[in-house]
Amino acid sequence: MTALTSQDLIGVIGAGAMGSGIVQVALNAGHHVVLFDAAPAAVERGIASIDATYRKLLDKGKIDSATHIDRMARLQAGSTLADLAGAALVIEAIVENIDIKAKVLAEVEALVGIDTIIATNTSSLSVTALAARLQRPGQVAGLHFFNPAPVLPLVEIVKGKATSQCVADTLFDTALAWKKIPVRCASTPGFIVNRVARPFYGEALRLLGDRAADVATIDAILRDCGGFKMGAFELMDLIGHDVNYAVTKSVYDAMYQDPRYKPSLLQKELVDAGWLGKKSGNGFYAYGADAAKPAVTLAPAAPRPANIVVEGTLGVTAPLLELARAEGLAVRHYPAAGPALWHIDGVTLALSDGRSAMQADLAAVFDLAVDYTTAGSIAVAISDLAPAGTQATVCGFFQALGKQVIVIDDVPGLVVMRTVAMLANEAADVVQQGIANAADCDLAMVNGVNYPRGPLAWADAIGPAFVHSVLAHLAAGYGEDRYRSAPLLARRALTGQSFHAVAP
């Protein structure tokens, strides 16, 4: 173990919400901590906030009085940067401006020992570029916590081009000792989480722009069918559109305008209007005292089907067959090569493969679910060329399985399938480029943004070849490079190898 010990002093620069949260993490691990901010009043507010947090934990019985007193006794207010001189680790959590960060850290570097690790909590700036402005770039690394730092378990350990392996290992082991879940990654725009997460927002915005469904409906599908804790629009409103749009634009520009990261004019319009989400009272949703959340339109009750025939390989849709039989529906399954076709009272439908129902020459398609057994709802799309009564037949089938049915426009890939395919593709690109390994990509997305499943584990469950075909169909349908498959995903599709069983 190369972790810092509780005897090592920790310095934190920046007394805002993130800096104060990091202080708590270090105090909880037994360290003495010095908190500094250029504004003395901010330090006072930060310490008061930390004390208030501990008092709440005390009132709830989660810590005792002795623990509260001990932790606060180990916290010192720094009046100048010189108070950080004895620190073994200095963590910077100030404004996201590389010039300001570099100026402050250069001053710190001149004060601390040559073995002191200087870490930045930046979420979007290049650790390599920041370190290059200091005299000892090998001692500089990213230590990216997620807000609120005492609660969210993930920490990204970001290795710049010059960061020494010893420094990266020390931060990794220290994060483990602090009871966090660390993941390693190279310095790249967005690191793991903010890069891989872009399609979660981008595809929802694209679907809204294509008028596939309204905001509340897309969010409901992502939650109830996809298993995400929040829908994309709810989450953007919570983060703040100024912040979320800025991160998207930053990654887009840093990636030389790669269309995969293209910002949305719909979100820009909200930012221009000052509709920043929950903090401003308006975003995709209204948050006034009298504001009511829009209701999602569910399909009306329809008759149970009488005859079901399934041809092909069930794959991730296998639970639907089990549910149908458990509900006493008459089902015959004929295994065969290729994805399953479901014939419901003469109506043919299938899991979305990235084509609309009309493009696939089907009456209807249905969306991916994180778990068809427990999913509360299923999204379906009906072809414009489908015969009359198709919607009732399709809805009656899923309703017989105990699911609510949400009907959206017949758009390629529906909601969950195209979102998951794009998330997996982005994660595959991160692995392909050696930025992080597959295990860390999945750990990061599950523990950093609370995804129901790691994108690459999800791709393994669906099958890399199927994910690749979804993207190929989206690319053909839209005629855009945005949906190109990462080389590693294309290779896995050809070999049939999983992401977690085989190294790139």
For each of the domains in the chain, give its residue range(s) and CATH number, in order of start.
10-187 (3.40.50.720), 195-273 (1.10.1040.50), 308-408 (3.30.750.190)
Provide the pLDDT for residue 319: 97
Which residue type, as a one-letter code, is found at position 184?
Answer: R
Provide the pLDDT for residue 502: 59
Alpha carbons 264 and 48: distance in angstroms, whole number: 40
Helices 241-254/232-239 angle, 10° precision: 100
311 membership: H or E segment, kind and range = strand 308-313
Strands of the sheet with 347-351, listed across from one edge: 331-339, 308-313, 341-344, 347-351, 364-366, 377-382, 404-408
Pair of tokens at residue 312: 């092909």
Alpha carbons 261 and 357: distance in angstroms, whole number: 27
Helices 265-273/241-254 angle, 10° precision: 140
Alpha carbons 122 and 96: distance in angstroms, whole number: 7
Termini Cα distance of the chain: 28
Q: Which of 123, 250, 352, 447 is catalytic?
A: 123
One-character DSSP codes across 167-201: HHHHHHHHHHHTT-EEEEEES-TTTTHHHHTHHHH
Residue 96 appears among annotated catalytic residues: no
CA quadruple 488, 491, 497, 498: dihedral, nearest 10: 30
Residue 156 appears among annotated catalytic residues: yes
Alpha carbons 335 and 313: distance in angstroms, whole number: 6
Alpha carbons 474 and 210: distance in angstroms, whole number: 14
The answer, yes or no, to whether the previous bond of 148 is cis (omega within 30 of 0) is yes
- CA distances 198 to 40, 418, 424, 440, 482, Å, are 37, 13, 11, 17, 12
How do 331-339 and 341-344 pair as beta strands? unpaired
- CA distances 256 to 34, 132, 161, Å, are 40, 22, 20
Provide the pLDDT for residue 288: 85
Residues 336/312, Cβ–Cβ less than 8 Å:
yes
Alpha carbons 104 and 109: distance in angstroms, whole number: 9
Residue 203 appears among annotated catalytic residues: no
Mean pLDDT, consecutive 10-residue segments, the chain of 504 residues?
A: 90 96 98 97 96 96 96 97 97 95 97 97 94 98 95 97 98 98 96 96 98 97 97 96 93 95 97 96 92 91 96 96 95 95 97 98 98 96 96 98 98 98 98 96 96 97 97 96 97 94 58
Q: Which of 20, 31, 32, 144 is catalytic?
A: 144
Residue 123 appears among annotated catalytic residues: yes
Provide the pLDDT for residue 124: 82
Q: Which of 31, 32, 109, 156 is catalytic?
A: 156
- CA distances 402 to 31, 238, 301, 346, Å, are 53, 31, 11, 21
Q: Which of 121, 126, 194, 352 is catalytic?
A: 194
Provide the pLDDT for residue 503: 52
List residues bridging with 190 in a β-sheet: none
Tell me how long the chain is.
504
Provide the pLDDT for residue 226: 97
Residues 119/143, Cβ–Cβ less than 8 Å:
yes
